[in-house]
A and B are shown apart, each in its own frame.
Chain A
């Protein structure tokens, strides 16, 4: 996909850029390449070097063992690279390179280099150059060196799996190894066609590395769920460990909440006779991490209780806000139907905590109460799921906030609800 203009200087600069081999090796390789055109003399010249190596290492260790052996102390990128270098130096003919590459591909996740482009390029570099390029139309017609081509495709496939985009260097290597119009080059072209197109396809990207700190992670997740730039994150409690007088250790969970001004407005308008619910936990997946959150919500207002704000003709000084006409929108122009816009009831706030028991969540509610005084009058029901944490007692025993429970609320009823009702996902999630 890159234009040849930028490709050319790279080709000119060195046959195999960034190969990291010694000059000597390089020269040998050039000789090899040169010799390839006249196979008759191929056997004579590089033999000495070759034999020198094979005599040194004659053991028939499998390639996987090579990795295990080399990386006893630590499995890092450096050791992985070292293994590849050792393999390259072992045999100038690169005997068994296909098996070696397969083994290396398999080992990559273990060494944590599965997303490292330079390692893939280094692995590609293991292939001997120019040997597999078809030289006449018959070779071109049939599958030339199928095993090697298949291996190259596999390597690219693994890159694709881990979302690694090849670069120019990869292309140059593939061209040197398999020649244009070979299967790996086709694969490369396909990757280069689709990958850039999909790179930013997610409008709500998740960073590769998530924040380590649970508070930061909660902050990130909550802003991600709350589709409102005005929403304010409040950290109600930082995680800490206290030692009580009796010497008991108490771990306080973190408690992070989010609420937007419009949610506050909505909550302020809430009918005090109708309860609000604390529900959860609901899962949120961020790549491979799953976090859980809780919502404060209410049931949708039944139609008969909905109060339409009466139209005040003395509202706008400049123009009529409503027309006094007995005509409705034409059917053909009715565009108001929206599958997303279902009346699920409002969500007033969300929070995350590592310990989703009622005591902690009550703490959240009392924190919210500072900015939402109405919570002191509205009955608050806890409908918590067992979730990933250890199952919570559903009784109403710990009640640090007497105001949150009013006479309208019957403990038995609440307990039933807690057990029976399925948590509703009443809010929009981004992913």
Chain B
């Protein structure tokens, strides 16, 4: 397949850039700087265009891949990490004692896992997003370690990496990369989750103007107890156009500055080995050169850090599910009931199919997104990353639960690791932005994009532009009469392999329907769509499904074309997933087309309002009587 190979060549070209970069890209703001050519700026975005009913196939086809040398390099990293995790990490003990032993941490440091994405010049491994995702598959086998490492490098030191100046990088990154220092990310406060306006921690400039004094306390800080370097967000007074305003700024705070105290670790449901606690700052003097970015620019930094850290959850979950499949399938094959092994029962088989499909989809989404992020240019993949996070965290939970179910009562005991996996993965829908909030982010960002393009059209329609209306009616009649939608995935200019044509057609049909649904929503709600959270949730679900379909189609097409082992299985998984999701999407979009009284949204709101007004379940007990 010609196109695939073209891409291969492009990615290969990226390899020498690592050397090239260190000279040029110093001032670069973005994490992806290392692999940037900066030849052209990219304004293309796949997920956003879905809201317009378009498939931007150049973004997602062919499926991104890495060069052979990189693959070899990666395999060299993966083997020892895998060995370490299977032989040296005792997850049950970590969970039970709620502590990662020092020797395990040392092992992780020796493997360089504390600086996976820190450039080599600062002593890190300098791996790309794709390779980071691959390593995360293995790291995720222990939830506590995964969270500790993620808090360290996905958010903790990301501020310095993304927005820090050269001096800050030189000073802090080497020790962070080696694991000598551990980083933490201090944003959340008791009164402030996503609401930046309610951050209470304050940084005031000292009289000599050399220090900021930070006061306040942060809660639920992963690594809070052992972190030496912290990215702290605090309120600062900034003068904007002559008016003094409070703005958020980011600081690098060393524990050694003094005045930093951490509380005792929280007793959690899962990821018990990770050290989560409250961190208080009492007049901590932070030199002015430790301000990350510029003063008052903390909000953007926080947003960028949060947005960039999410994509790896897809591969983590996939890694976990693959492990679970191994563990449970052994049981299912050996356990006998009624003279048949469990694996012969349809309901057990269904669970394994579900796990396989989920793992396959997550993997596809995660590596597609990572590949997009690794591409040259300035990629804007936060939407895709959020979609990966939502899909995989929820799929992960379902799969863990199903895996446990295969073992029945045994799975419920502590003799098996399933209950630990279940507890550990319950955090996934919660942290790094709850899924509810990310759904809002996904839907609203897309809506804004679509609105920018469609506002004029919708306004014309409202004014009663007859030609536009006739054109739209004609289009809808054409589609309803069975006129197929062609967005160019198949046919002469094909990017999806012909053996997946049916699934590709389904995706095209869904995307086109989704485009008109979004237009209808904009027409109906305008900017007040912000308050229609139930509708937005459906929008987000549809677009996540569409992205998932794209990812599997793209991946399976590539596999067929280059003849990967067992690609027939991939075709099967892809077709199954697309078929299933096609119907789910149609259902969601039909619901969206209806008004709230018909699609149950109004009822749901009523029920919730009644319950919340009473702050209790409202119905009488079934045993109550009136006479």
B415 within 8 A of partner (CB): no
- Nearest neighbor of A319 in chain B, beta-carbon distance: B441
In the complex, the answer to whether B627 meets A196 with C-beta atoms within 8 Å is yes
Q: Write out the residue numbers on chain A whose beta carbons fall within 8 Å of the beta carbon of B459.
A: 326-327
In the assembly, what is the distance between CA of A333 and CA of B447, in Å?
18
In the complex, the answer to whether B306 meets A321 with C-beta atoms within 8 Å is no
Q: Number of B interface residues at 8 Å Cβ cutoff, please give it.
A: 40
In the complex, the answer to whether A319 meets B440 with C-beta atoms within 8 Å is yes
- Nearest neighbor of A198 in chain B, beta-carbon distance: B626
B591 within 8 A of partner (CB): no
Stretch at the interface among A206-214, A215-223, A281-289, A308-316: A308-316
Q: Write out the residue numbers on chain B whose beta carbons fall within 8 Å of the beta carbon of A320.
A: 441, 444-445, 448, 530
- Nearest neighbor of A192 in chain B, beta-carbon distance: B627
In the complex, the answer to whether B306 meets A314 with C-beta atoms within 8 Å is no
In the assembly, what is the distance between CA of A167 and CA of B306, in Å?
67
Q: Write out the residue numbers on chain A whose beta carbons fall within 8 Å of the beta carbon of B441.
A: 318-320
State how many angstroms separate the Cβ of B2 from the closest Cβ of chain A.
41
Stretch at the interface among B106-114, B138-146, B192-200, B265-273: B192-200
In the assembly, what is the distance between CA of A40 and CA of B529, in Å?
88
In the complex, the answer to whether B455 meets A327 with C-beta atoms within 8 Å is yes
Stretch at the interface among B45-53, B518-526, B557-565: B518-526
In the complex, the answer to whether A199 meets B626 with C-beta atoms within 8 Å is yes
In the complex, the answer to whether A328 meets B528 with C-beta atoms within 8 Å is yes
In the complex, the answer to whether B626 meets A325 with C-beta atoms within 8 Å is no
B3 within 8 A of partner (CB): no
Q: Are A317 and B302 also in contact (CB < 8 A) when A196-B627, A329-B526, A329-B528 are? A: yes
In the complex, the answer to whether A315 meets B195 with C-beta atoms within 8 Å is yes
B353 within 8 A of partner (CB): no
In the complex, the answer to whether B197 meets A325 with C-beta atoms within 8 Å is no
Q: Are A327 and B526 also in contact (CB < 8 A) when A229-B615, A317-B303 are? A: yes
Q: Write out the residue numbers on chain A whose beta carbons fall within 8 Å of the beta carbon of B323.
A: none
State how many angstroms separate the Cβ of B598 from the closest Cβ of chain A.
13
In the complex, the answer to whether B447 meets A323 with C-beta atoms within 8 Å is yes
Q: Write out the residue numbers on chain B whose beta carbons fall within 8 Å of the beta carbon of A330.
A: 462, 523-526
Q: Write out the residue numbers on chain B whose beta carbons fall within 8 Å of the beta carbon of A329.
A: 524-526, 528
- Majority-rule SS of B interface residues: helix
B residues 252-302 in Cβ contact with A at 8 Å? 299, 302
- Nearest neighbor of B454 in chain A, beta-carbon distance: A327
State how many angstroms separate the Cβ of B607 from the closest Cβ of chain A.
16
A200 within 8 A of partner (CB): yes
A338 within 8 A of partner (CB): no
How would residues 162 to 205 of chain B score, 1 for a CB under 8 Å from any chain A CB and 0 otherwise?
A: 00000000000000000000000001000000111100000000
Q: Number of A interface residues at 8 Å Cβ cutoff, please give it.
A: 29
In the complex, the answer to whether B595 meets A333 with C-beta atoms within 8 Å is yes
B527 within 8 A of partner (CB): yes
In the complex, the answer to whether A317 meets B306 with C-beta atoms within 8 Å is yes
Q: Write out the residue numbers on chain B whose beta carbons fall within 8 Å of the beta carbon of A196.
A: 626-627
A236 within 8 A of partner (CB): no
How would residues 404 to 427 of chain B score, 1 for a CB under 8 Å from any chain A CB and 0 otherwise?
A: 000000000000000000000000
In the assembly, what is the distance between CA of A215 and CA of B62, in Å?
77
A1 within 8 A of partner (CB): yes
A340 within 8 A of partner (CB): no
A132 within 8 A of partner (CB): no
Q: Are A323 and B247 also in contact (CB < 8 A) when A312-B197, A330-B523 are? A: no
How would residues 320 to 346 of chain A score, 1 for a CB under 8 Å from any chain B CB and 0 otherwise?
A: 111111111110110000000000000
- With beta carbons under 8 angstroms apart, the residue of A195, A317, A327 that contacts B451 is A327
B248 within 8 A of partner (CB): yes
In the complex, the answer to whether B444 meets A319 with C-beta atoms within 8 Å is yes
Q: Are A316 and B194 also in contact (CB < 8 A) when A167-B627, A330-B523 are? A: yes
How would residues 27 to 53 of chain B score, 1 for a CB under 8 Å from any chain A CB and 0 otherwise?
A: 000000000000000000000000000
In the assembly, what is the distance between CA of A165 and CA of B462, in Å?
59
B438 within 8 A of partner (CB): yes
In the assembly, what is the distance between CA of A315 and CA of B451, in Å?
22
- Nearest neighbor of B441 in chain A, beta-carbon distance: A319
B433 within 8 A of partner (CB): yes
State how many angstroms separate the Cβ of A134 from the closest Cβ of chain B.
28
In the complex, the answer to whether B527 meets A323 with C-beta atoms within 8 Å is yes
Count of inter-chain pairs, beta carbons less than 8 A = 98
In the complex, the answer to whether B627 meets A323 with C-beta atoms within 8 Å is no
B437 within 8 A of partner (CB): yes
- With beta carbons under 8 angstroms apart, the residue of B187, B195, B445, B529 that contacts A316 is B195
State how many angstroms separate the Cβ of B604 from the closest Cβ of chain A.
15
- With beta carbons under 8 angstroms apart, the residue of A314, A326, A328 that contacts B299 is A314
State how many angstroms separate the Cβ of B360 from the closest Cβ of chain A.
29
In the complex, the answer to whether B299 meets A317 with C-beta atoms within 8 Å is yes
Q: Write out the residue numbers on chain A whose beta carbons fall within 8 Å of the beta carbon of B302.
A: 317
B458 within 8 A of partner (CB): yes
- Nearest neighbor of A327 in chain B, beta-carbon distance: B526
Q: Write out the residue numbers on chain B whose beta carbons fall within 8 Å of the beta carbon of A323.
A: 444, 447-448, 451, 527, 529-530
In the assembly, what is the distance between CA of A196 and CA of B620, in Å?
14
- With beta carbons under 8 angstroms apart, the residue of B445, B527, B620 that contacts A325 is B527
B residues 434-469 in Cβ contact with A at 8 Å? 437-438, 440-441, 444-445, 447-448, 451-452, 455, 458-459, 462
How would residues 601 to 618 of chain B score, 1 for a CB under 8 Å from any chain A CB and 0 otherwise?
A: 000000000000001000
State how many angstroms separate the Cβ of B541 from the closest Cβ of chain A.
16
In the complex, the answer to whether A318 meets B440 with C-beta atoms within 8 Å is yes
State how many angstroms separate the Cβ of A1 from the closest Cβ of chain B.
7
In the assembly, what is the distance between CA of A325 and CA of B620, in Å?
46
In the complex, the answer to whether B437 meets A319 with C-beta atoms within 8 Å is yes
In the complex, the answer to whether B526 meets A317 with C-beta atoms within 8 Å is no
Q: Write out the residue numbers on chain A whose beta carbons fall within 8 Å of the beta carbon of B437.
A: 318-319
In the assembly, what is the distance between CA of A77 and CA of B455, in Å?
78
Q: Write out the residue numbers on chain A whose beta carbons fall within 8 Å of the beta carbon of B524.
A: 329-330, 332-333
In the assembly, what is the distance between CA of A320 and CA of B446, in Å?
11
State how many angstroms separate the Cβ of B137 from the closest Cβ of chain A.
26
In the assembly, what is the distance between CA of A371 and CA of B620, in Å?
38
Interface centre among B196, B438, B523, B627 (most CB of A within 10 A): B627
In the assembly, what is the distance between CA of A312 and CA of B248, in Å?
13
State how many angstroms separate the Cβ of A7 from the closest Cβ of chain B.
14
In the assembly, what is the distance between CA of A315 and CA of B526, in Å?
22
In the complex, the answer to whether B526 meets A165 with C-beta atoms within 8 Å is no
Q: Write out the residue numbers on chain A whose beta carbons fall within 8 Å of the beta carbon of B528.
A: 328-329
Q: Write out the residue numbers on chain B whose beta carbons fall within 8 Å of the beta carbon of A229.
A: 615
State how many angstroms separate the Cβ of B190 from the closest Cβ of chain A.
16
State how many angstroms separate the Cβ of B52 from the closest Cβ of chain A.
14
Q: Write out the residue numbers on chain B whose beta carbons fall within 8 Å of the beta carbon of A328.
A: 526-528
- Nearest neighbor of A321 in chain B, beta-carbon distance: B530
Q: Write out the residue numbers on chain A whose beta carbons fall within 8 Å of the beta carbon of B447.
A: 323
How would residues 159 to 178 of chain A score, 1 for a CB under 8 Å from any chain B CB and 0 otherwise?
A: 00000010100000000000
- Nearest neighbor of A316 in chain B, beta-carbon distance: B194
- With beta carbons under 8 angstroms apart, the residue of B197, B530, B620 that contacts A315 is B197
Q: Write out the residue numbers on chain A whose beta carbons fall within 8 Å of the beta carbon of B303.
A: 317-318
In the complex, the answer to whether B196 meets A317 with C-beta atoms within 8 Å is yes
How would residues 84 to 122 of chain B score, 1 for a CB under 8 Å from any chain A CB and 0 otherwise?
A: 000000000000000000000000000000000000000
State how many angstroms separate the Cβ of A260 from the closest Cβ of chain B.
14
In the assembly, what is the distance between CA of A324 and CA of B524, in Å?
16
Q: Write out the residue numbers on chain A whose beta carbons fall within 8 Å of the beta carbon of B626.
A: 195-196, 199-200
State how many angstroms separate the Cβ of A207 from the closest Cβ of chain B.
17
- Nearest neighbor of B597 in chain A, beta-carbon distance: A335
Q: Are A195 and B627 also in contact (CB < 8 A) when A314-B248, A319-B440 are? A: yes
Q: Write out the residue numbers on chain A whose beta carbons fall within 8 Å of the beta carbon of B523.
A: 327, 330
* A to B CB contacts below 8 Å, 6 in the list: A165-B627, A200-B620, A314-B196, A315-B196, A319-B441, A324-B448
Q: A320-B448, A323-B451 are in contact. List 16 more A-B contacts (CB 8 A).
A: A1-B627, A192-B627, A195-B626, A314-B196, A315-B196, A315-B197, A316-B195, A319-B194, A320-B441, A320-B445, A321-B530, A323-B448, A327-B526, A328-B527, A328-B528, A333-B525
- 4 shortest A-B CB distances, which residue pairs? A327-B526, A319-B441, A196-B626, A325-B451
Residues of chain A touching chain B, judged by Cβ–Cβ distance below 8 Å, are 1, 165, 167, 192, 195-196, 199-200, 229, 312, 314-330, 332-333
